[in-house]
Amino acid sequence: MTAVSPDVVEIFRRRTRSPLRPRSSDLIPIVFPTFRLVIPSSDALILGEADQWGRNVFVIAQQKPKPENLRTKEDLAKLNHGMLTAQDHSQIARFLQRAATKSYHGEPVTVVTLIDTYGADISMESARHFQAFFIAHLIKDFLTIPVPTVSVIIGEGGSGGALAIQMTDRRAQFDDALYATAPPESLAAIIFRDPTKVREALMISRPTAEELKNLGIIDHVLPAPKLVTDIGGYAKTLGAYLEKTVKDLSRRKLAALIRLRRSRATSFGVYPEEAKKRSGLWSTFFRLTPLRRKSAPLPDLKTFSLANHDLQPGIDWGESNDPAVNPERYVKCGDTSVKSGEPSKGCGAVIPLSQFMANHYVCHECGASLIMGAMGWINCLADADSFKEMNRELSAAHLLHPSLLTQEYQAFLARQNQRTNFHEALVTGEATIYGYPVALAISEFYFAGGSMGVVFGEKFFRLAEYALSKCLPLVSLCCSGGARLLEGVPALTQMVKTINCVTRLKRHGLPYVSVLGDPSTGGAIASYAALGDIVIAEPNALVIFTGPRVMEARGFQVREEDVRGAALCQNSGQIYENLEFYGDIRGIHEVAERKDLKRAIFKYLEFNRNCQPVSNRYWSPGRKAV
């Protein structure tokens, strides 16, 4: 396991998570004497303005509970203390719009964010209100807002809840603060299936300020006072940093700041030595390799032959099903995994394996489906033999900082390579859909659960650049369990990287269609997958930021039927009745069965193409894009 200073565990317990540590509400009155609350704050969020350092400073502050907030049984029973809800994120989005509007009218504006959170709220209430979509849109807002921005991690930076307001022009962190891909308890619940293994989780996270500065996640480390209760000491250091940084940013041109944000986003997770090679390797970025269509069954799929199964012939038993005549393999709906205890729903129908695979692993009797791998999705969405793969050999060894490529992680990657013919959790390339060329990004769930790591983000970036160079629409298929926790915070920043790619496509007017397969969770749904011009989902796709198993481990109630594609698509209809709350979020536009997804994608691509002036049509059936 990755070596880390034993002091990190003590820092986490005695300082980062200390109930006596200064909260945002303690620091703001000292640092911002003219602060005025603009929007009534929730328990976890403070929004206000201050006139300081010659600027109108917009303050966005997260806050964990204080001891006085935890005195009653009702207080102690609340599970989302210190976590921003979908309602909070909506208020932040509107607050940023207000800042951008003031800047547009010529007022000198700077946005400052103070971060101290366990993570985003993972309750069902926030999930039903598109929590993941809010996180993705807030990251997009911070990448594009025409206002200088500064963030400081004053306590704990947890997962997407922190990332949503942390990707600013300048990023600092106190040296006794920690910033991780997920709160240690959640990370432990996911990796070790035991939320009490906080020490082991911290040893993987590498969450300290110095480590994150070396990785380019932050750019300044602030010294904390000796006593964790020293409010004045924290405020003095914070105020001095903000004054210097805000004044420095005020002298910068906004266009240059925005260009720097984009440039930084594309470099996240790429080891500097590899980044230096980029300028001379663009031709290899776009090298296409024809894909041999392999129809091997899914890993762990339980099959049998009739010859060695105890099925009894029924009235439909005929010669074609005689095991002596037909040695084909079969599957039984509801009993499809070789893993003992693996949950499965189904009707018990016995289906020929070839028929099951041709129907994209969906039971023709009851509609129960299995999680499909990248090859299955390519067969489902692309024309036969049209897919050509890009960057097939790209691996973590090419990109990841050597300190993160541990022996344990290398062993993990080797095990994943044994489960699939693809070498990473994202498969990218060019294909055609009913003859129309597209850039295609497909999740490979059977490589590390389709998790987003540095290779995932880099391959998405390169595919987006290819789409731009060829003027192709981009279609993505999300089937992911979240961020690659074993890579630490660099994996988390791939959310920013992929969002930056999508905003680049939008600036150039290229259509982007996002398809949500089962499951679409974690960092994937809280980034690129939520930002499609059109979002289409399988009816049964699980679409949620935090998976049900982690929610249950943390004590939250789960109603999976509320966060499946069909239910969320229905919820999306309510968005149009409350556009002020949802802003640019439109949720899921359409649901379609797997067998109908290809046609649904084509419908929108063709509509977009037909709306273009003839001279501007960038692709047409049977022709290369121009």
Residue numbers in the chain where pLDDT is lower than 50 = 1-4, 279-280, 312-324, 621-626
AA letter at 571: N
Q: Is 153 helix (H, G, I), strand (E, B) or coil?
A: strand
At 151 the pLDDT is 98
Closest CA to 170 of 251, 80, 89, 77: 251
Closest CA to 177 of 148, 204, 210: 210
Read off the DSSP letter of residue 452. Answer: B
Domains recognised in the chain with CATH numbers = 7-267 (3.90.226.10), 304-358 (no CATH), 376-612 (3.90.226.10)
At 233 the pLDDT is 98
> What is the DSSP secondary-structure string of 531-592?
G-SEEEE-TT-BEESS-HHHHHHTT----GGGGBHHHHHHHHTTGGG-HHHHTT-----EE-
At 283 the pLDDT is 56
CB 60 within 8 A of CB 537: no
At 135 the pLDDT is 97
How many whole angstroms separate alpha carbon 542 and alpha carbon 539?
A: 9
At 616 the pLDDT is 62
At 5 the pLDDT is 53
Q: Are strands 512-521 and 426-433 parallel, antiparallel or unpaired?
A: unpaired
How many whole angstroms separate alpha carbon 64 and alpha carbon 487?
A: 27
How many whole angstroms separate alpha carbon 235 and alpha carbon 24?
A: 10
List CB contacts of 249: < 8 A, sequence separation 6 or more.
110, 148, 150, 169, 170, 257
At 343 the pLDDT is 62
State the CB neighbour count (10 A cutoff) for residue 242: 23
CB 560 within 8 A of CB 519: no
CB burial of 302-336 (b: ≥16 within 10 Å; e: otherwise) equals eebebeeeeeeeeeeeeeebeeeeeeeebbbbeeb
How many whole angstroms separate alpha carbon 572 and alpha carbon 214?
A: 42
How many whole angstroms separate alpha carbon 188 and alpha carbon 553?
A: 10
* Environment class of 626 (CB within 10 Å of its CB; exposed 0-12, middle 13-18, buried 19+): exposed
At 294 the pLDDT is 65
Evaluate the omega torsion of the peptide bond into residue 519 and state whether it is cis, within 30 degrees of 0: yes
State the CB neighbour count (10 A cutoff) for residue 68: 8
How many whole angstroms separate alpha carbon 97 and alpha carbon 396?
A: 38
Read off the DSSP letter of residue 486. Answer: G
Render pLDDT for 424-451 as a digit per residue (tens, 0 to 9).
999 999 999 999 999 999 999 999 999 9
From residue 159, how far is each of 83, 134, 225, 493 by CA, in Å? 11, 14, 26, 10
How many whole angstroms separate alpha carbon 292 and alpha carbon 375?
A: 10
At 615 the pLDDT is 62
How many whole angstroms separate alpha carbon 501 and alpha carbon 514?
A: 13
Closest CA to 516 of 570, 562, 479: 479
